Amino acid sequence: MIDVDDLISLVRNYNPKTDEKMLRRAHDYAARMHDGQTRHSGEPYFTHPVAVAAILTEQRLDDATIATALLHDTIEDTKGTFTEIADLFGRDVAELVDGVTKLTNLELSSRESKQAENFRKLLMAMSKDLRVILVKLADRLHNMRTIRHMPLEKQKKKAQETMDIYAPLAGRMGMQWMRDELEDLSFRVLSPEERSSIIRRFITLQKETGEVIPRITEDIEAVLEKHGIEADVFGRAKKPFSIWRKMKEKELTFSRLSDIYGFRVLTKTDIDCYRVLGAVHQRWRAVPGRFKDYISQPKSNGYRSIHTSVSGRDGKTVEIQIRTRQMHEVAESGVAAHWSYRDGVRAENPFAVDPAEWLEGLTERFQNAEDHEDFLEHVKLEMYSDQVFCFTPKGDVVKLPKGATPIDFAYSIHTRIGHSCVGAKVDGLRVPLWTRLKNGQSVEIMTAEGQTPQATWIDIAVTGRAKSAIRRSLREEDRERYIKLGRELARVAFEQVGKKATDKALATAAKALHLSGGEDVLARIGSAEMSARRVVAELYPELAGQEPTAEVSERRAVIGLPPGAETRRAQCCQAVPGERIVGITYPGKGPIVHTIDCPALAAFDDRPDRWIDLHWSDGRHAPVHNVTIDVTISNEHGVLGRICTLIGEQNANISDLHFVDRKPDFFRLLIDVDVRNAEHLHAVMMAVEADSDVATLARFRDLDRSP
């Protein structure tokens, strides 16, 4: 274990003006509080907070953060209190320790809604003081370095949590070295055989080719010397997890994977960076599509560097990063560079970002998320995305994640532009909206008044901002329709367990599901974002599993018919079980069943004597209720077959299919589908509508087919 003198020496190396007395007091207090406690390895527990503090000295952090590292478990695991720490070390340190304690108490679960909730709390903690996260990341890093002493199941849980949350968070903050190590330590636990396999292949490769890194380093140094450029060159083999991820992404075997070595060139000035780039490209052939200039277009966390890949010695692809030494400091520390000290004063690095501005930019992207799932999607996109830089026709730069489309570009400019988008031009050429944008392209969005977002756009968009805006618009546009359908689906689901979907019940469910009210619950049910059965389960868990098992025959599907009469459904509305129905009598023919909202019923408003109150039998209805859906699909090879397969996957039978219109670019057709009930029909329609080649989908209503 590092003793207090060694720790203070590490701090004094970058901060000669450190408050040595305060750090000694923090060390002694924490040692006293943790006295008698041990880790899983059997070592004294206090070895852990000291190791965390030592990790943070590598980032050259201020005294308050180092003291917090020493004290970070005292409130959680000892008799230490917030008040006592504030009295001894000041309120700043006490609030940091309290913040780390609250983060430690978060139980990060695999359930997505729970993860999203914790991400919100993480951001809230970060917004108060980012140093809380820096201590927590160092805490997690040391725990992962010593994880082998924990029980295997706990190791896997911690490793997965680290891979899902802490590693990408470190990367998003610009601390790429920490992300790489956290990922590789997690990889060691989660996939030990794959990691060992990659290491064995590396050893074999080294035996076959010798030490490649020193030879390539010498090659680069020789090129720079020839051009009179003063710079330092460093080479490294990439981490096993990084190699494994590239193998998965590119679907390549290890033997075919070329860029497993990375090199870094550190210069004095920006101009030298570009001189190095020119010299390298003169000497070796650049790999197309592998050049990125983060100096002219920095990342939001302050990262600046030029990335290029070249075909180097023996044809091996070599990745080279070129940056100044000041840029490198920020690249190593990320947002933490704001607190870095040198010679006793806060380091004046022009590339370090203001944490407040960084957090504001980060949280701004998430503010439109309306629920936990939306928010989690935003976070994951933000954490894992690389960036592309595109231009507006006026030359303004728009930053987007890799894989973004013109839809994302439009919404990044303004939600109104996104909503009214009807097309796009990239570098002056008209392109489909699903086109993936590339670095340096100029994008022009074409709009039209009255245009509204299409449901298929959700599959096209990749940014959380665009997806959220599209979903919100679709919800608002279809809200009344969804609420109406959701009310019927909820009524059926509640009646199946002997309950009623009252306003109070729905309001209670909304509160339990963290939604704004009963209508929001109905809208989610109607839009298939939530099943009615889930709502019932939330309120009546003991009854939720009780589904009707008795099969209802077609002859007994409707209750309330006159004696001897059989079910006759009106073809204008094609009522199905689960929908409210009414019967209209005809002389000598018996009643015909309509949905309560069928437009054909208007003709009988003045004939109440012909109306009969009907309802569907309880139980499991057979899939014999024919409904016609109106679908417009792309005229592409295999689309129709895929649509038919989607319907079959929902256990629905296609009884007829009729083409209404054929155009060079689309087909419109009517498909007759046999379903059990309204919920079954809705599942079929949502499955079909979700396909990216389906332009429109609706339930076909034909008043000409009314009796």
Distance CA 77, CA 46 (A): 11
At residue 520, does pLDDT exceed 80? yes
Residue 296 binned pLDDT confidence (cut-offs 50, 70, 90): confident
251 by Cβ neighbours in 10 Å (0-12 / 13-18 / 19+) ranks as exposed
Whether 517 has a pLDDT exceeding 70, the answer reads: yes
Catalytic-labelled residue, pool 58, 76, 332, 691: 76
pLDDT tens track for 394-441: 877 787 887 889 999 999 899 999 999 988 998 888 888 888 888 778
**pLDDT score, position 348:** 66
Q: Is 630 an annotated catalytic residue?
A: no
3 state DSSP class of 160: helix
Cβ(430)–Cβ(423) below 8 Å: yes
Identify residue 354 by its one-letter amino acid code. D
Q: How confident is the model at residue 442 (pLDDT cuts 50, 70, 90)?
A: confident
Number of H helices, E strands in the chain: 28, 23
The pLDDT assigned to 226 comes to 92
pLDDT at 356: 64
pLDDT reported for residue 387: 67
Tokens read off for 665: 């670019």
What is the domain partition of the chain in residue ranges? 4-190, 195-346, 471-539, 551-621, 625-705
The mean of the pLDDT values for the chain is 81
- Residue 113: band (very low, low, confident or very high) from pLDDT cuts 50, 70, 90: very low
Q: 352 Cβ partners below 8 Å, 6+ apart?
A: 302, 329, 330, 333, 337, 338, 340
Per-residue CA distances from 90 to 19, 24, 82 (Å): 13, 15, 10
Structure tokens at 253: 């075997």
Lowest mean pLDDT, pick from 278-287, 322-331, 588-597: 588-597
Q: Is 193 a catalytic residue?
A: no
Q: Which superfamily, per CATH, for 195-346?
A: Beta Polymerase, domain 2 (3.30.460.10)
Per-residue HEC secondary structure of 508-543 comes to: HHHHHCCCCCHHHHHHHHHCCCCCHHHHHHHHCCCC
- Residue-wise pLDDT for 583-627, tens only, equals 888 877 778 999 888 888 888 877 877 888 888 887 778 888 999
pLDDT for 111 equals 46
User: For residue range 552-592, what is the model confidence (pLDDT) as tens digits?
Assistant: 777 778 888 877 777 788 888 899 988 888 888 887 777 89
Q: Give residues with Cβ within 8 angstroms of 680, minimum separation 6.
A: 576, 623, 650, 651, 652
Kindly give the pairing relationship between strand 261-267 and strand 317-324: parallel
Q: Which residue has the higher pLDDT, 8 or 201?
A: 8
Q: What is the CATH number of domain 4-190?
A: 1.10.3210.10
424: three-class secondary structure by DSSP = strand
Q: Which of 107-121, 159-173, 506-520 has the lowest mean pLDDT?
A: 107-121
Structure pTM? Answer: 0.54
In the chain, % of residues over pLDDT 90 = 21
What digits encode the pLDDT tens for the residues 132-152?
Answer: 888 999 999 999 999 988 888
- What mean pLDDT do residues 353-375 have? 57
CATH class given for the domain over 625-705: alpha beta
pLDDT of residue 375: 52
